[in-house]
Amino acid sequence: MLIASDGPRLRSDRATLFLGSRGAFNFELEVSLRDGAHHSGNWGGLLANPGTMLAGAIASLVDAHGRILVDALRPASIPPSVRRALADIEPGEPGGPAIDDDWGERELTPAERVFAWNALEVLAFRTGNPDRPANAIPPRASALLQVRFVAGCDPRAFVPAIRSHLDARRFTRVAVRQGAMEPMAATRLDPDHPWVRWASASIEASTGSPPAILPNLGGSLPNDCFAEVLGLPTIWVPHSYPACSQHAPDEHMLAAVAREGLQIMTGMFWDLGTTDPVAPG
């Protein structure tokens, strides 16, 4: 078994286990129609606008409420054990952004949307010169998008599925290609696995409260090196918290979480050495 630490807890006041991570797949969309810009008065209504075309293509992939519209970019279903593990999970942290209840799959809980489902995000969109806009139809437009996906989805199918989807909707002039960032795989240990029950019991014995069990982290990390290449059950015990300003100025950790983290990890390694280990299975 792998025991490791990374990322944030569910909340600062609740110890957490996560058992894998969502994958990350970046892709680029581009519309390049001509060499230069043309006066929007003289040519407006006569020349196709690549920004408008690209916006329409994106809107065909994900709707105005964040719901993915391409079946190949969505998971087939949520496993029962994952749904059970998330039944008492409530994402969010004081000091963090407010959750938009009307975003994403309406029939899913907030926990299911971030820990058990895929998200399609527009990371960047550019057409014309946003810093110095001119009264001209721009010659090209481009966007960088990302799919955060759960275990069971094959990222190798994403670009062909997007190409087919766009062609069927007459967006044939919208090019699609995989982004420069190497995709990260999605992994998930079953929440009913014996090692999960062992780790949860150890944390509860140390802290007096059962931990939150997340089938996978909402973000991505290279857990596939251990889960798939080495075939290990993976247990991650995070010691950060959601409002830590991760990857931003003033990234920090809380003294209370660090103190409890030391308590948790001491207890887990003590239990490994003094109790019969769970048979991997």
> Whole-number mean pLDDT of the chain?
94
Q: State how far the Cα of 93 lies from the Cα of 104, in Å rounded to an integer.
A: 19
User: Strands 234-236, 136-137: parallel, antiparallel or unpaired by DSSP?
Assistant: unpaired
Q: State how far the Cα of 281 lies from the Cα of 198, in Å rounded to an integer.
A: 13
DSSP state of 228: I
Question: Which pLDDT score is estimated for 94?
Answer: 76
Question: Which pLDDT score is estimated for 97?
Answer: 83
Structure tokens at 242: 């959601």
Radius of gyration of the chain (CA): 22
- pLDDT tens, N- to C-terminus, the chain (281 residues): 999 999 899 999 999 999 999 999 999 999 999 999 999 999 999 999 999 999 999 999 999 999 999 999 999 999 999 999 999 999 987 777 889 989 999 999 999 999 999 999 999 999 999 999 999 999 999 999 999 999 999 999 999 999 999 999 999 999 999 999 999 999 999 999 999 999 999 999 999 999 999 999 999 999 999 999 999 999 999 999 988 888 889 999 999 999 999 999 999 999 999 877 665 44
CB atoms closer than 10 angstroms to residue 156 = 10
The pTM of this model reads: 0.91
Over the stretch 235-272, which tens digit does the pLDDT of each residue have?
Answer: 999 999 988 888 889 999 999 999 999 999 999 999 99
Question: Which pLDDT score is estimated for 17?
Answer: 96
**CATH 3.40.630.10 holds for 2-22+186-274:** yes
Q: State how far the Cα of 65 lies from the Cα of 17, in Å rounded to an integer.
A: 30
**Domains of the chain, residue spans:** 2-22+186-274, 24-75+118-178
Closest CA to 156 of 64, 7, 25: 25
Using alpha carbons only, give the angle 110, 121, 51 rounded to the nearest 5 degrees: 140
CATH number of 24-75+118-178: 3.30.70.360
Question: Which pLDDT score is estimated for 93?
Answer: 79
Question: Which pLDDT score is estimated for 278?
Answer: 65
DSSP state of 103: S
